[in-house]
Structure 1
Amino acid sequence: MTLPVNGAERGFTPYDIGRTPATACRIDQRFSYCLYVPARVVENPAAAGRILAVVHGTDRGNQALRDLFVPYAEATDSIILAPLFPCGIGEPQERDNYKYIDYQGIRFDLLLLDMVDEVSARYGVDAGRFDLFGFSGGAHFAHRFLYLHPSRLRALSVGAPGSPTLLDSTRPWWVGVADLEQKFAVRLNPDAMKDVRIHLVVGSDDTDTWEITHSPGSRHWMEGANDTGVTRVERLRSLAANLQANGLDARLELLPGVRHARDALSAAAIRFLEALDEGGGDVPT
């Protein structure tokens, strides 16, 4: 990567442009992130787009997920931020830590916010409101992040979460949000959520249930855990209906013939974001 003329003057090296190395999160170095930074952002940060955070699924392929958004980053002069929330934090083989936001006192929402603010300060890019995409386990995280920090988001794309949380004030977290303020010290802000453009996407053939069916005695079991449906398709339809009933701008997109496919859902998220950038935002239903 060739360094822009003014890059060295601002303290940048070629490692700070394009596909960057993994960088430890400054508030908790067990976690890290990588970026894609178009050279034009370093040349002229005032003309840059926004930060787009993309959150991996259970497989933790954050670099591969970042790379799917490189053409979008180049077209919009946006920075792609891909956090890594490793398995095995706190206990061996633990894979779900980030999905439910809080795990053994670790607040994954606050980790992401710190990463965004660090990148904003480093590159001089405005991050008052950023965009967020999550696939599978990352979609668990992403739609729950909306409930906690809606004022920080412009747009949200939620790709095939297995176990959605509804805006239901009669049921406790994680099935509902009755105790959200007590659990997270954050008050639900429906008006701010209405300002976020929300895209919900799932493949029509995403029907495997082995990973998303909760049984009594399992780690995340609670009453109502399976009430939103059997498959990811049914559960995302339930989430869409719930968000819409609460007045949110949520659009559901069903991809014909697609299974649980990260690349296809990422492409759909890019189309959604491109439509927003062009002043539209309608997606197929």
Structure 2
Amino acid sequence: MPATPTDTLQTDDSRARAMYDFGPSTIFAARGDPRFSYCTYVPPRIAQAAQPMELVVFVHGTGRSFVEYRDAFAEFARWNDCMVLCPLFPVGVLGDGNRDGFKQLREGDIRYDEVLLGMVDEVAEKFQCDFGRFALCGYSGGGQFVNRFTLLHPERLWAASIGAPGSVTLLDPERDWWVGVRDMQARFGKALDLDALRRVAVHMIVGKADIETWEITHQPGGKFYMPGANDAGRTRPERLQTLKRSFENAGVAVTLDVVENVSHDGMKCVGEIQDFLASALRARRAGGNGSRPGSGA
């Protein structure tokens, strides 16, 4: 029987889906806000996966190397039954050349946390997966995003990897956002949920030689300057150590990796991030709900 036009359309659609949706995808505009985009890696043999798919999200830094991070996590996803989602938050979305808006979660009327959650929901619907909780990773500016997103939405995460943030938001109820969390409810309409945060497997990572300060020292009159802006430390390793103590003082278990002979280079930290995710994923699939292995959480 000759192929009908409908059969041809279905075949063409299947070919296009195999080419652009599976494996390393093309770049998609976000359905909820087309000013933002994302790419994914979806294992081509998803239908034969041994266990339900999990989602790993990686947020780029100021350089916007989102495709490079997607590619770096592709093999991890393939061998661990995961998908990878990497958003793109462009420079100057409001026409002002601002490189840093996404790091603070809010820029004008944009809520970057909500933009990301919309992307997660879009991918979950597309592939008919349950991504009610996912793993969130980021480096440099992406590390700032992950730090703050984790404080605001811990119930959505089974793991969080905070990589080399230039500025940190501490679990400090005596200081306002972004240095602390005192006014989080007023700013975002959502209070800190420490119980949910304690159930997230939290990882922090920085290069031991990541000691340049020119980009991370806040000066009076600067865009994000506020009292206490530099109190967490002078360098990224110092600030991450302070963030770790802040979490641990609140009862949140943290795994810290300080990588020898690495300066400010997220790609050189990918191996340690993947090791952490693999451990957290094993605990989650064993019934640990994403808790840090051995934490008792």
1:45 shift after superposition: 6.9
* Structure 1 pair 7–95 and aligned structure 2 pair: CA distance change class (3 A): same
1:33-182 aligned at under 5 Å gives the runs 33-41=38-46, 43-44=47-48, 47-182=51-186
> 1:17 maps to which residue?
22
How far apart, CA to CA, are the structure 2 residues paired with 1:65 and 1:281?
25
Query: Rg bigger for which structure?
Result: 2
> 2:255 maps to which residue?
251
> 1:3 maps to which residue?
none
How far apart, CA to CA, are the structure 1 residues paired with 2:161 and 2:29?
25
Q: After superposition, what is the alpha-carbon deviation per residue over 1:150-197, rounded to whole angstroms, capped at 9, x for unaligned?
A: 010000111100100001111111001111000000111000000000
1:251 shift after superposition: 1.5
How far apart, CA to CA, are the structure 1 residues paired with 2:209 and 2:163?
14
How many equivalent pairs are there? 277
Name the SS for the 1:52 alignment partner.
Answer: strand
1:2-13 aligned at under 5 Å gives the runs 12-13=17-18
Q: After superposition, what is the alpha-carbon deviation per residue over 1:93-135, rounded to whole angstroms, capped at 9, x for unaligned?
A: 2100100000001000000100001100100121011001001
* Structure 1 pair 45–30 and aligned structure 2 pair: CA distance change class (3 A): farther
* Structure 1 pair 173–13 and aligned structure 2 pair: CA distance change class (3 A): same
TM-score, structure 1 length as denominator? 0.92
* Structure 1 pair 46–240 and aligned structure 2 pair: CA distance change class (3 A): same
Which residue of 219, 226, 244 maps to 2:223? 219
How far apart, CA to CA, are the structure 2 residues paired with 1:189 and 1:224?
23
8 Å Cα contact 1:40/1:77 also seen in 2: no
Q: Are 1:188 and 2:179 an aligned pair?
A: no
8 Å Cα contact 2:49/2:81 also seen in 1: no
| Percent of residue pairs identical | 42
8 Å Cα contact 1:46/1:124 also seen in 2: no
> 1:27 maps to which residue?
32
Give the CA RMSD over aligned residues. 2.0
How far apart, CA to CA, are the structure 1 residues paired with 2:54 and 2:238?
33
* Structure 1 pair 8–249 and aligned structure 2 pair: CA distance change class (3 A): farther
1:9 shift after superposition: 7.2
How far apart, CA to CA, are the structure 2 residues paired with 1:211 and 1:9?
47
How far apart, CA to CA, are the structure 1 residues paired with 2:258 and 2:183?
32
Q: Are 1:207 and 2:207 an aligned pair?
A: no
How far apart, CA to CA, are the structure 2 residues paired with 1:139 and 1:227?
18
How far apart, CA to CA, are the structure 2 residues paired with 1:10 and 1:134?
33
Name the SS for the 1:239 alignment partner.
Answer: helix
> 1:274 maps to which residue?
278
Kindly provide the amino acid, as one letter, of the partner of residue 125 in structure 2. Answer: A
8 Å Cα contact 2:50/2:81 also seen in 1: no
1:11 shift after superposition: 9.2
Q: After superposition, what is the alpha-carbon deviation per residue over 1:23-80, rounded to whole angstroms, capped at 9, x for unaligned?
A: 1111111001000010122x25783320100000000010011111011011112110
8 Å Cα contact 2:32/2:118 also seen in 1: yes
How far apart, CA to CA, are the structure 2 residues paired with 1:224 and 1:48?
44
